[in-house]
């Protein structure tokens, strides 16, 4: 069942090695079918070269298997928490991409320093707070999701479709699996650029608000005018 | 019409992914036919893998479509402003290449630190001033071009065929579409080298004037002696 | 003899260029057959493109040739010292991979800054002390092994399956040749990430102990729940 | 004539793009036939993809053409100066490789920080002094060679087969064209590693003398024991 969903999730997962966002099996992409309440996600620890559409795992929003199959990604509970809390999203990607992970390891939010960032993220990509011992020791993956949701208490997740989990790495989301990967690729690019800009001018803080708004709205929302129609 | 022009602009655009200067569709190259007052430019948001010569958009110097076709790059107005102000140029390239963009995001001009730079740029590659709120909110892309032109008030754009737009990224130009891409490639190389040199010796300012002149003139102008004939 | 062992060691060695861990012939992988007391290792100075299974050299734990063949890697004595001291390991890899070597050259241990590190290394990847003149001038390669073993006096080499040899570069190990290469790949990734994180936040020291433990134990030991089964 | 010499020089030049040491035509390799006093070098400004053995230019030690052909590399006079002053060398390579050039642009010698460096360079790779106005304005390329030779007044060029020309980039040499390229590859690797090590531990100066000597002599000279025989 859900063959098209599986196929889309397979293809989105295969974009991770294509864009050099993963080493070995360190990444996973999922997509939700909101109508049927079904989430399709990469199986745990399976190599990308060997991944086939039929390996993609189907679960419901509580993480219960929808059909017999492989074990889902160990990060499933984080994906589910995001789908439950963020109504408008349809796909989630997690990677340990180098430069975004470096910012997460530094425990620093990624500042909006230029229009490349502003084209996709309407403000800084925030770094979550450190998790408590309790959050880490019980239901760790689910609590990872909860801490992400907490970070977006006053931010629309569609305005900033990514986050840096403290001491861990990035999660990104989008309308579907493919666009969550696209946002992951952009995040990695701007993480490198912001690293280099910070080294060149350590005191640099952020770009102008008006330029940030101009670029985000040039590509998103009702007044967007980028692309073909 | 203008099949050869379109073909040249197509090929120049395809150099951007070849030299790893673009992610997704973040770049565009144009060329002007001065005799007929026609500019050929990449269409907006079209993927490089799918780009064909017939997709290249033809406009006049006011940006009016010369034939029925796709929507031109959203940066068209910047290209046009450069063609209007800089008589001697025939091609323009815009990218968000990593290291050049990092300097633009840092709001710093790229200093001339070595002969690789001097072979192509006769002085620093300047970073433009920040644009005003008014410039950003009305005719943003055209004003981007005007701020570039303002930056070159006392510099010959043929001596330094590139610029860093503040908080945005690089534009480069040349005799035709292909040479504007070539200058973009060089800019990216020297942006990385200058980054590294600045990290090694933060107090380093610039190279010797006489060496800068020697190298620029070895490749450009009437006494050039680099290459065959 | 030992054709399967040679084949495995060949394949593990060929992973080094695949993962961009070596330039020229700067790396070597070995595996031990504990039952027969035989170690298979790359021959010295042979190019990877030309390496065949029959070129792999067989020696006993004293380094004596088990059959007529090529000269073993000049680092053989270091591998043997590790096999003698670390009971539980079956494969060893040595490279001069860029970012791990940079940390070794800086003489700094690689701090545990994030979950990518914690998934494989249960604590910092230590840098050995500088060797004495005597250790360098006599039985240098064997003494390199001894200094590594000394560094692990109070650490289980299975908990942290890698080390940085001061002013030299990384050694990693694992259950077999292949897993020692896998640990080398991970080490290189986390060495780059830790470099970048340190540049972003120089005062950053380490990640939370509880998160380190959570991630290491998610993948290793009896309560591991990563992967299929 | 000298078909084998041309073929070797062609192949050595083609290693430059293979090892990502050049952009466009920014590099050149030569080899000398000492018996006949003939130097074979890359022609000026010819693209690597189009380079054929018959394009390689033959000159004598005064730079006079030995046969009708293309114009030699504009850096020819530097190569010739090195062949005249350094008896024992047979090949010379010049590139603008990124990290070595960054050190040259910083005006800093590349310190010996680890065994990767020590395996090829018996001490720091020195940065030349800045050239005087007179040296730059008259016979610039030849004077570049003279400043390199001056830098080696008290160093055997076989002990440190490379140099960083101030504000310019690296030259390397070896027994033949191929080994001069090999040394250029190593130089680029250690330039990146030394950059990173310096960022991690800015106060780090050099490696132990005894370790430097051990590694250099393990690969070079009469007591070398690396490789097959």
Q: Are C19 and D203 in contact (CB under 8 A)?
A: no
Question: Which portions of chain A are predicted below pLDDT 50?
Answer: none
Min Cα–Cα distance to chain B from D213, Å: 26
Nearest CA in chain A to C193: A102
Q: Is the pLDDT of residue C222 over 90?
A: no
Q: What is the pLDDT of residue A204?
A: 75
Q: Are D130 and D167 in contact (CB under 8 A)?
A: yes
Measured CA to CA, the distance from residue C101 to residue C188 in angstroms comes to: 9
Mean pLDDT within C59-81: 97
Closest CA to D180 of D109, D95, D114: D95
Catalytic residue among D19, D62, D119, D122: D119
Residue pLDDT, tens place only, D64-114: 999 999 999 999 999 999 999 999 999 999 999 999 999 999 999 999 999
Measured CA to CA, the distance from residue C220 to residue C226 in angstroms comes to: 9
Measured CA to CA, the distance from residue D228 to residue C44 in angstroms comes to: 6
Measured CA to CA, the distance from residue C29 to residue C72 in angstroms comes to: 11
Helices (H), chain A: 3-18, 76-85, 98-106, 115-118, 133-137, 140-151, 177-200, 209-219
CB burial of D48-75 (b: ≥16 within 10 Å; e: otherwise) equals: beebeeebbbbbeeeeeebeeebbbbbb
Instruction: Kindly report the length of chain C.
Output: 229
What is the helix (H) or strand (E) element at residue B3, kind and residue range? helix B3-18
Domain ranges of chain D: 3-219
Q: What is the pLDDT of residue A227?
A: 85
Measured CA to CA, the distance from residue A83 to residue A195 in angstroms comes to: 30
Nearest CA in chain B to A205: B106
Chain mean position to CA C8: 16
Closest CA to B63 of B78, B80, B75, B46: B80
**Count of other CB atoms within 10 angstroms of residue C154:** 5
Longest dimension (CA), chain C: 55
**Count of other CB atoms within 10 angstroms of residue D14:** 14
Measured CA to CA, the distance from residue A78 to residue A228 in angstroms comes to: 35
Cβ contacts of residue B121 below 8 Å, gap of 6+?
A: B112, B159, B160, B161, B162, B186, B187, B190, B216
Model-wide pTM > 0.90:
yes
Q: What is the pLDDT of residue C184?
A: 98
Chain B contact for D106, CB < 8 A? yes
B27 φ/ψ angles, rounded to the nearest 5 degrees: -175, 160
Measured CA to CA, the distance from residue A12 to residue A15 in angstroms comes to: 5
Helices (H), C60-139: 76-85, 98-106, 115-118, 133-137
A partners (3+ CB pairs within 8 A) are B, C
Q: Is the pLDDT of residue C203 over 90?
A: no
For the beta sheet containing D57-60, the strands, ordered from the edge strand earlier in sequence to the opposite edge, are D57-60, D38-41, D27-33, D91-95, D169-174, D162-165
Residue pLDDT, tens place only, C84-133: 999 999 999 999 999 999 999 999 999 999 999 999 999 999 999 999 99
Q: Are D41 and D56 in contact (CB under 8 A)?
A: yes
Measured CA to CA, the distance from residue B199 to residue D61 in angstroms comes to: 40
Report the residue of D105, D111, D143, D198 to disrupt the B interface, i.e. the one with the largest count of B CBs within 10 Å.
D105
Chain B contact for D224, CB < 8 A? no
Cβ contacts of residue C10 below 8 Å, gap of 6+?
A: C51, C52, C53, C55, C56
Chain A contact for B142, CB < 8 A? no
Q: What is the pLDDT of residue B203?
A: 84
D-chain CB neighbours of B199 within 8 Å are 195, 199
Q: Let me know if C226 is a catalytic residue.
A: yes
Catalytic residue among C62, C75, C119, C176: C119
When pLDDT is cut at 50, 70 and 90, the band that residue C179 belongs to is very high
Report the residue of C19, C97, C111, C115 to disrupt the A interface, i.e. the one with the largest count of A CBs within 10 Å.
C115
Measured CA to CA, the distance from residue A73 to residue D97 in angstroms comes to: 42
Q: What is the pLDDT of residue A205?
A: 75
Q: What is the pLDDT of residue B221?
A: 85
Instruction: Kindly report the length of chain B.
Output: 229
Q: Is the pLDDT of residue C1 over 90?
A: no
DSSP assignment letter at A50: G
Q: What is the pLDDT of residue C19?
A: 97
Q: Let me know if A119 is a catalytic residue.
A: yes
User: In CATH terms, is domain C3-219 a member of 3.40.1130.10?
Assistant: no
Measured CA to CA, the distance from residue D151 to residue A59 in angstroms comes to: 69
Q: Is the pLDDT of residue C193 over 90?
A: yes
Measured CA to CA, the distance from residue D70 to residue D50 in angstroms comes to: 14
Measured CA to CA, the distance from residue A125 to residue C66 in angstroms comes to: 58
DSSP assignment letter at A125: B
DSSP-based three-state secondary structure for C38: strand
Q: Are D79 and D163 in contact (CB under 8 A)?
A: no
Residue pLDDT, tens place only, A147-177: 999 999 999 999 999 999 999 999 999 999 9
C-chain CB neighbours of D193 within 8 Å are 98, 101-102, 105
When pLDDT is cut at 50, 70 and 90, the band that residue B227 belongs to is confident
DSSP-based three-state secondary structure for D12: helix
Residue-wise DSSP of B22-37? -STT-EEEEEEETTTT
pLDDT in single tens digits along all 229 residues of chain D: 799 999 999 999 999 999 999 999 999 999 999 999 999 999 999 999 999 999 999 999 999 999 999 999 999 999 999 999 999 999 999 999 999 999 999 999 999 999 999 999 999 999 999 999 999 999 999 999 999 999 999 999 999 999 999 999 999 999 999 999 999 999 999 999 999 999 999 887 799 999 999 999 999 988 888 888 6
Of the candidates C186, C201, C218, which has its C-beta nearest A74's C-beta? C218
Q: What is the pLDDT of residue D128?
A: 98
For the beta sheet containing A91-95, the strands, ordered from the edge strand earlier in sequence to the opposite edge, are A57-60, A38-41, A27-33, A91-95, A169-174, A162-165
Nearest CA in chain A to B55: A228
Give CA angle at D166 (D205, D12), nearest 5°: 95
């Amino acid at each position: 069942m859900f063959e098209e969903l599986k196929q889309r999730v397979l293809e989105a997962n295969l974009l991770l090695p294509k864009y050099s966002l993963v080493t070995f099996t360190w990444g996973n992409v999922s997509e939700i079918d909101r109508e049927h309440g079904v989430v399709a996600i990469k199986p745990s620890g399976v190599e990308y070269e060997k991944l086939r559409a039929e390996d993609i795992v189907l679960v419901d929003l509580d993480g219960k298997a929808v059909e017999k199959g492989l074990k889902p990604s160990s990060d499933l509970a984080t994906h589910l928490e995001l789908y439950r809390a963020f109504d408008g999203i349809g796909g989630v990607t997690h990677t340990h991409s180098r430069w975004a992970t470096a910012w997460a390891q530094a425990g620093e939010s990624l500042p909006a320093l230029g229009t490349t960032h502003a084209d996709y993220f309407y403000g800084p990509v925030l770094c979550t707070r450190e998790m408590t011992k309790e959050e880490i020791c019980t239901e760790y993956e689910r609590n990872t999701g909860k801490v992400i949701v907490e970070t977006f208490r006053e931010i629309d997740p569609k305005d900033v479709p990514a986050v840096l989990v403290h001491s861990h790495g990035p999660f990104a989301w989008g309308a579907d699996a493919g666009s969550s990967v696209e946002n992951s690729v952009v995040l990695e690019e701007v993480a490198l650029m912001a690293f280099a800009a910070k080294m060149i001018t350590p005191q640099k803080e952020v770009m102008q608000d008006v330029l940030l708004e101009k670029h985000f709205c040039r590509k998103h929302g009702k007044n967007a005018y980028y692309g073909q129609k």
